[in-house]
Amino acid sequence: MDYILKGIIKFRKTILIFFAIIILLSLALLSETSVNYRIVDYLPQEANSTQAIKILEQEFEDGFPNLNVMIRNVTIQEALYYKNELTLIPGVKSVLWLDDLVGQSYLEKTPVEFMDRALTENYYKEKTALFSLVIKNGMETASTEAIYDLIGENNSISGDALYNASIQNNSSAEVSNAMMILIPILIFMLVIATRSWIEPIFFLITIGIAILINMGSNAFFGEISFITNTVSPILQLAVSMDYAIFLLHSFSDKRDRYEPKEAMYLAMKASLPTVAASALTTMIGFSALIFMRFGIGSDLGINLLKGIFLSFVSVMVFLPVITLVFHNWIDKTMHKDFMPHPGRISQFLLKVKVPLLLIAIVIVLPAFFAQSQVEFLYGMDFNTEGARSTVDKAKIEEMFGSEHALLLLVPREDLMKEKALSEALMNYPFVTQVMSFAESVGTEVPDVYLDEAILNQFYSEHYARIILYSHLTQESEANFNHIDELLETASKYYDEYYLTGQTPTLNDMKKVVSVDTGRINLIAVVGIFIVLLLTFRSLVLPLILIFTIESAIWINLSVPYFNDTAISFIGYLIISTVQLGATVDYAILMTHRYMDNRKVESKREAMWHALKNNIAAVLISATILATAGFALAATSQQPVIQDLGLLLGRGTVLSFTMVVTVLPALLLLLDGWIKRTTLNHRFYENKEVK
């Protein structure tokens, strides 16, 4: 290891050139990474709705409608004109309207009053036409803008494609807005934490390079989710800034006795174990996300894992080099030490340690049970008050109701079996209409006498599709049970059946989440426990540290329950591992200092010095991470990002609070157990005053 550290110092220019090349390559690769805005793409392949979408795309040319377009004050002929114009817009794969179900010739010759009202009113009523469109993935923004230009201000659009377009338009701006809040606060906190006015700039450059390389390397994965694209850079910046602080603090301490190169070598050697342990625990916490069956977790986990590793490398390789090159600048911009050393606060915390511990226990017990009862939101819709998308959605629901379509795929077999299933589905009170070939056209008409366009709406070579209109538009346990009922009914007629649509997809998400939640939490806890076990060589200390942070997580996740609010399931899934991995470092730092002091001091003196000398450092780190979370919540219009940001900000504050209040009490009260279960403890043995 000494050879590597000395090599970094010796080959400074080569390393700078290497990083310059990597930076240029990363900049070039940024544009090669596509961003996926469709949450449904991250469901497991075996999920019923995922298989339905896959078969639909393979067997039917158009796919599942993801946009509604409502045009007012039009005749049948004018509606057909608009349909043709919509079809010509780039990115529009297909447009479904009334003529696709009854035939254009029949529609043009037959007055609407003589048509089946239950059928027509889903598409045309009161001289208002409602079209269902399939927008090509990746073309949502361009297509919706062109549709707006076509239909004008008085008409409306809504649907998943519009939601995806809104995300695409806002994601980059949201990252920039969050950074505009975070970076000034970050610089302020770094000025307090350092002794030179220029050191914060070195920190930001070092971590910024790691972020750039991380985002550029995503090109090798092809695409990342919009959640990863928004959250990952900010989390990487906030979580890994401590590594740079550790290194340069050590460098500053050694500059008083050694010349710059020797001081940096000794600083790197002294900081490496601390920085490596901190990065490792964070990486293990994040790596648990990879084991989620829901692909968003794996996508974010891999990106954060890669990002923290790159930050570690950048801090241990690039930062020493740039510091040595510009160390004269550091000397010329030195300022007094702004870091507070709160001795009185530390004394107070020790004085009231038992009451604080009792208060924490009283809070933690109900929080543990409450956090498991939190209600989740699985949908990705967001409504911005006053925005056209929100107003349009309300207008469409006012005219055509809040019904939405479900699509059931079954093998193309016996027409009588298809008709029997259609009739069985109509018996459910939440189903308003069933459209299938057997039900809408009939079983008596031979295929050869039908318009091919009508036939293609219902059949592919291997599958028949049945369209159900239902009231299942809200997320609820009852509606999820209704989806299971529909699937059970289909199973009575067919061995193979697939159901897709908003509610079936959300139902599959719910089932996946119920498995993922416990699994990833267990993986994160076990992984970090092993690291702590090896770090401290103690059986009790890992339990104390994990309990401290897990308690903060339980309290954090219980707040929505006590507020009677629902939160995004993605935020809930991710925060448990992110908060544990990102904030357990605070507990590790405090415990390390206590254990070091305990070799030469009584337990009370050891804890007093640990608190006095490290509260400010932990506070700075926690402030940076909490600010990152609250900045995400404040700048995003996406509920999943808002919830994740709020949970991260609040969770960091709670973790800090638990580390400076509950952890000291536990370490002091369990000092005897720690001594007996720690290898080579070398505790100070003098008689102590309790």
Residue 401 to residues 125, 256, 301, Cα–Cα distance (Å)? 12, 75, 40
Instruction: Centre a 10 Å sphere on the Cβ of residue 288 and count the other Cβ atoms it contains.
Output: 25
The CA distance from 174 to 639, in Å, is 13
- Per-residue pLDDT of 401-460, as tens digits, reads 777 778 899 998 888 888 899 889 988 888 887 888 877 655 444 444 455 656 777 888
* Backbone φ, ψ for residue 128 (5° rounding): -125, 130
- Mean per-residue pLDDT over the chain, rounded: 85
- What pLDDT does residue 305 have? 93
Check residue 316 and report its DSSP letter: I
> For the whole model, what pTM was predicted?
0.82
Q: Taking a C-beta distance cutoff of 8 angstroms, is the pair 645, 636 a contact? A: yes
Taking residues 71-96, report their average pLDDT: 91
- What pLDDT does residue 205 have? 93
How big is the chain by its Cα radius of gyration, in Å? 30
- Is 662's pLDDT higher than 60? yes
The CA distance from 552 to 556, in Å, is 6
* β-pair type (567-568, 376-377): parallel
CATH 3.30.70 fits 393-507, yes or no: yes
- What pLDDT does residue 89 have? 94
- What pLDDT does residue 58 have? 84
Taking residues 363-372, report their average pLDDT: 91
- What pLDDT does residue 647 have? 92
Buried-state track 40-78, b at ≥16 Cβ within 10 A, e below 16:
bebbeeebbbbbbbebbeeebebbbbbbbbbbeebebee
Check residue 154 and report its DSSP letter: T
What is the secondary structure of 330-393 as a DSSP string?
HHHTB--------HHHHHHHHHTHHHHHHHHHHHHHHHHHHHTTPPEE-------TT-HHHHHH
Residues 6+ apart with CB under 8 A from 573: 292, 294, 297, 513, 516, 517, 520
- Per-residue pLDDT of 620-649, as tens digits, reads 889 988 998 898 888 887 788 888 889 999
The CA distance from 167 to 199, in Å, is 36
Q: Which CATH superfamily is domain 1-31+194-338 in?
A: Multidrug efflux transporter AcrB transmembrane domain (1.20.1640.10)
- What pLDDT does residue 688 have? 47
- What pLDDT does residue 319 have? 93
* Listed range (155-159, 391-395, 494-498, 511-515) with the worst mean pLDDT: 511-515
Give start and end residues of each alpha helix (H) in 66-159: 76-87, 99-102, 104-109, 117-120, 140-151
- Is 515's pLDDT higher than 90? no
Residues 6+ apart with CB under 8 A from 541: 532, 591, 595, 674, 678
Q: Which tops the pLDDT comparison, 493 or 476?
A: 493
> Which residue ranges does the chain devote to CATH 1.20.1640.10?
1-31+194-338
In which band, very low, low, confident or very high, does the pLDDT at 689 lie, cut at 50, 70 and 90? very low
* β-pair type (124-125, 431-435): unpaired
Q: Which tops the pLDDT comparison, 547 or 63?
A: 547
- Is 67's pLDDT higher than 60? yes
In which band, very low, low, confident or very high, does the pLDDT at 361 lie, cut at 50, 70 and 90? very high
% of the chain residues with pLDDT over 90? 27
> Which residue ranges does the chain devote to CATH 3.30.70?
393-507
CA angle 42, 47, 53 (to 5 degrees): 75
In which band, very low, low, confident or very high, does the pLDDT at 686 lie, cut at 50, 70 and 90? low
- What pLDDT does residue 191 have? 86
Q: Which helix (H) or strand (E) holds 414?
A: none
Q: 602-606 — which CB contacts under 8 Å span 24+ positions?
A: 602/684, 602/686, 602/688, 602/689, 603/667, 603/668, 603/671, 603/688, 604/350, 604/668, 604/688, 604/689, 606/684
Residue 537 to residues 214, 593, 603, 675, Cα–Cα distance (Å)? 34, 15, 19, 11
Looking at the DSSP bridge assignments, the partners of residue 92 are 135
Token pair listed for 70: 């409502």
Q: Which tops the pLDDT comparison, 293 or 551?
A: 551
- What pLDDT does residue 513 have? 78
Residues 6+ apart with CB under 8 A from 351: none
Of 450, 546, 509, 523, nearest to 640 (Cα)? 509
Determine the straight-line distance between the first and last CA of the chain, rounded to whole angstroms: 44
Q: Which tops the pLDDT comparison, 79 or 469?
A: 79
